[in-house]
Amino acid sequence: MTIYARIMGTGSYLPGDPVSNHDLVARGIETSDEWIVERTGISARHYAPEGVFSSDLALEASKRALEASNCKVEDIDLIIVATSTPDMVFPSTAALLQNKLGMKNGAPALDVQAVCSGFVYALTLADKFIRSGSNKRVLVVGAEVFSRVVDWNDRTTCVLFGDGAGAVVLEASTEPGILATAIHADGSYSEILNAPGQVAGGQVCGSPFVKMDGQAVFKFAVKVLSEVAGEALASAGVKQEEIDWLVPHQANVRIIQSTARKLGLDMDKVILTVGQHGNTSGASIPLALDVGVRSGRIQRGQNILLEGVGGGFTWGAVLLRF
């Protein structure tokens, strides 16, 4: 009998009030609502207040996902957190989250570092653990505080990002869940998007801020996203027209529109949150998934395609039956 990893429930969390493009102008950033909306589709984003870290956002999203799943923390036997903005060098954000959740069952906890593809990578790992029979209930989280690593003097990047977290509880099931996964990386593209600083000798060495060649990222993203979507569909034997919802990484509405067009999907089959959330990197897909589920658009039995691309470069897709 085939064992699937099936989503039991979803949750998400956005810190504080929305910060609009007009608010950024008021804070002294030389930009305009018109420029940001036209180039990216972003109108607002959220920022975590001082002293609030990725594990705190992950905690709130996880509680909501556990509640939606009717699942207790002791039932979780693995935690995977996708983040590129961890609370500290170590321990992992997943271990810190485990403690904040009050979990005492010794379940393993690990972080995945694949930037904006992190959640797709994390789901792929969780799927393998469940299919192998070694785990029954896995908490998979994407949590980020990208506002901490943007250079507020670089208007091309600082307006793009936001903070937030999303989570799912996956359960081993005989009913279909994750149907196919495909993940990739090409480290030769590390220069077009990175935050190259490091901690050494008690100091941050090099720039710890996000650096991006926006146009190179745009071209790369559109190319690999449609390729990897095709790969996941082919491996599951599912046709493009059988996709009920596309839940893409929310970086830029123009990247999302191009990908949807290549998949032959109307934009009304795409869960779009970039306008209100900005780019929350590894958190953007589970945030959008939760919005889709809680708004009643995503229904049980539907085919959902998740896909992401991010620094590394990394990219991937997960096709699942919800």
Q: How far is the CB of 55 from ligand ACO (least distance, A)?
A: 22
Q: How far is the CB of 97 from ligand ACO (least distance, A)?
A: 23
Angle formed by the axes of helices 253-262 and 214-236, nearest 10° = 40
Residues 78-107, one symbol each (x = binds ligand ACO by CB under 6 A, - = not), give: ------------------------------
| Residue closer to ligand ACO, measured from CB, 147 or 252 | 252
211-212 and 245-248 strand pairing: unpaired
Is 303 assigned a catalytic role?
no
**Binds ligand ACO by CB under 6 A, chosen from 19, 23, 31, 230:** 31
For 299, list phi and psi in degrees, rounded to 5: -120, 155
Residue 137 burial by CB count (10 A; 0-12/13-18/19+): exposed, middle or buried?
buried
Number of Cβ within 10 Å of residue 142's Cβ equals 37
Compute the distance between CA of residue 154 and CA of residue 160 in angstroms, rounded to an integer. 11
Asked if 37 contacts 210 with a C-beta cutoff of 8 angstroms, the reply is no
**Binds ligand ACO by CB under 6 A, chosen from 94, 179, 283, 309:** 309
In angstroms, how far is the first alpha carbon of the chain from the final one?
Answer: 19
Compute the distance between CA of residue 142 and CA of residue 118 in angstroms, rounded to an integer. 7
Is 205 assigned a catalytic role?
no
Q: How far is the CB of 136 from ligand ACO (least distance, A)?
A: 33
| Residue closer to ligand ACO, measured from CB, 54 or 303 | 54
Q: How far is the CB of 194 from ligand ACO (least distance, A)?
A: 11
Out of 21, 46, 135, 249, the active site residue is 249
Give, as ranges, the residues between 167 and 206 that touch ligand ACO (CB under 6 A): 193
What one-letter code names the amino acid at 222? V
Number of Cβ within 10 Å of residue 193's Cβ equals 23
Compute the distance between CA of residue 179 and CA of residue 235 in angstroms, rounded to an integer. 8
| Residue closer to ligand ACO, measured from CB, 56 or 144 | 144
Q: Does 40 bind ligand ACO (CB under 6 A)?
A: yes
Q: How far is the CB of 49 from ligand ACO (least distance, A)?
A: 23
Give residues in contact with ligand ACO (CB under 6 A): 31, 35-36, 39-40, 116, 155-156, 159-160, 193, 212, 214-215, 217-218, 221, 251-252, 279, 309-310
Provide the annotated active-site residues: 116, 249, 279
